[in-house]
Structure 1
Amino acid sequence: MTYQEGLKQVDKATKMITEANQLIVETVMNTFLYTWQWWVAVAMIVTPWIIWGIFRNRESTARLFSVGLLVMVLSEILDALGVSFGKWAYPVKVIPVATVSFSYRLSVIPVLVMLLLQYKPNLNPFLKAVFFGALSAYIGMPILAKFDLYKKIDWSYTYSFFILTSFYLLSHWFSRLNTFEKLEKK
């Protein structure tokens, strides 16, 4: 295949992706919008952040939020890869974008990590990581699947367990860094 043929293939694939995204938008807008599953997904976006706002350790807000952002970025990268390679899908979405599930990846997961980091901070991080991974992968994800907010295609919950456990351990390490100095004029 020549370079120009490759560009034509990419154009063709982009057109197919655009058409598929349009089909998702139409389906969400015409079928799923305002269903009880859609409202559950909305609540999953809003409620965790309200809980975090109320119960967060105010002296550590910036540190914890930085960890939450790290989890969100890593989750979205892996999530985009998983959806792109057909490992899982999100049938009912709050915002009709093919590769994005704001409910779980950008709300529930990072807030749960931030809350676990601040409560019992001296508890063994490996125990907390395993708890977080098991809770998220073996309880949270099957519940999402039951509500049609997540569809496992070619994936195992155990893979998610190991990834989420690693996320927590990375978050724990990141939260312990002493790099939050005040910005002062010199």
Structure 2
Amino acid sequence: MDYQEGLSRVGDANSKIVEANGEVADVIFSVYIYHWNWYLAIFLIIAPWVIWAIFRNRESTARLLLAALFIMIFSAVLDTIGIENGLWAYPVKAIPSPTLSFSYRLSVLPVLAMLLIQYKPHVSPILKSILYAGVSAYVGLPLMSMVDLYKKLNWAYTYSFFILITMYLIAYWLTQLKSFKPISPGPDKEEPELHLVRRREKAR
């Protein structure tokens, strides 16, 4: 196989991905939209973020959102790898995407992590990570499986448990960074009054 043939095969693969997206969208709008579990998937996308918006610690919003963003990105990468290798699947999809679950990975998991980090901050993060992973892996995923929002193939809940522990601890560490300070203006952006004060000091 030469370089041009490789480009051609990748192009064909991308076309199949576009076709798969179209098939998922067709199923959503012709079948799933008439079933309650599709509306449950939509609810699970919106409700956790509404809950967090109401109960969030407003003074720590940026730190918490950084943790959530990490979990969402990390989960999206894991989903892509897992689905492409036949480890798990999401039969009922809220949004046409063969490789992502917006309901669980991009909503429930990040919001649950933020709420645990926020409440009782003096409790050991290791204990919280075990609680987070246990509830998510051994309660959340089986419940999702019961309503066809998740399907375990060549995978085990225990694998998810240890991954979720690691993911939570990294997210917690991000919230503890001390670099959350306002971006200071450059020397050319300083306030005019400050320039006048400095000139007067130099004149003296």
Structure 2: how far apart are the matches of 1:111 and 1:34?
28
Name the counterpart of 1:78. 78
One-letter amino acid of the counterpart of residue 73, structure 1: I
Equivalent pairs: percent with the same residue? 50
Structure 2: how far apart are the matches of 1:77 and 1:37?
25
Deviations 1:85-104 (A, max 9, x none): 12111111111111121111
Structure 1: how far apart are the matches of 2:184 and 2:19?
51
1:32 aligns with 2:32: yes
Show structure 2 runs of 5+ residues with no match: 187-204
The TM-score normalised by the length of structure 1 is 0.95
1:146 aligns with 2:146: yes
One-letter amino acid of the counterpart of residue 27, structure 1: V
SS at 1:33's partner residue?
A: helix
One-letter amino acid of the counterpart of residue 26, structure 2: E
Deviations 1:126-157 (A, max 9, x none): 11101101100010001001110111111111
Show structure 1 runs of 5+ residues with no match: none
Structure 1: how far apart are the matches of 2:85 and 2:28?
21
Q: How far apart are residue 63 of structure 1 and its match?
A: 0.8
Moved more, 126-135 or 19-28: 19-28
| Aligned residue pairs, count | 186
Structure 1: how far apart are the matches of 2:47 and 2:183?
33
- For the pair shown, the structure with the greater C-alpha radius of gyration is 2
Deviations 1:38-62 (A, max 9, x none): 1111111111111111111111111
One-letter amino acid of the counterpart of residue 147, structure 1: V
Q: How far apart are residue 28 of structure 1 and its match?
A: 1.5
Q: How far apart are residue 34 of structure 1 and its match?
A: 4.0
Contact kept? 1:133, 1:164, Cα under 8 Å: yes
SS at 1:117's partner residue?
A: helix
RMSD: 1.3
The TM-score normalised by the length of structure 2 is 0.87
Contact kept? 1:52, 1:111, Cα under 8 Å: yes
